[in-house]
Amino acid sequence: MRIIIVGASGTIGTAVTGLLAERHEVIGVGRSTTPAVDLGDPGSVAELFRSVGPVDGVVACTGSVPFKPWAELDEADYRSGIDSKLIGQITLARHAATALREGGSITLTSGVLTADPIPTGTAASVANAGIEAFVRTSAGAIGRGIRINAISPGVLVESPQFHDSFPGFEPVPAARVAQAYLRSVEGIDTGRILAVN
């Protein structure tokens, strides 16, 4: 299969790219690659699919959100997280739905904060919950046998700078998180939130 991975150079993206590349043709993309893609720019997403040609799967390992105490978050912070993580992935999925080969797959990324909040994670929780709602409600509507899932990883072993913000959470290795992306790409799940925590 030919698989596009957006955010292939990040911590999760690197692990996912390494695993999927053992079994498939992987096209890793980001803002600084050729072809380049910026999920905040729908034209950039459309051009990605035009330039790459037919693919069987699209994986999003991208999206940033502000981490601040609740009282310090303002509307701009919420919009920043929603635009970067939620709307960006929705844009990717919408374009993928028409560009993928029949029976293809879309895999998005949410996160553990949807269900397990932390003091500085409200904006992240909002964006993650939106992604999960989008996945659940899109699964039966996309058509052409295209599947859609989201991976919900916990805090990563490889990201110690975040460990203090997740008290009592057991960090998970990126290699184990990558297995969930493999399951989404090669399996039969659709409309599922695959948690790794």
What's the CA gap between 111 and 61, in Å, rounded?
11
Residues of the chain with pLDDT under 70: none
Peptide bond into 35 cis (omega under 30): yes
| Mean pLDDT, the chain, whole residue set | 96
pTM for the whole structure: 0.97
Tens of pLDDT, residues 131-165: 999 999 999 999 999 999 999 999 999 999 999 99
Domain span including residue 11: 2-196
**CATH (domain of 54):** 3.40.50.720
pLDDT for the residue 35: 86
Q: How many domains does the chain have?
A: 1
CA 172 to chain centre: 17
Distance CA 65, CA 47 (A): 25
Alpha-carbon dihedral angle through residues 123, 185, 143, 194, given to the nearest 10 degrees: -40
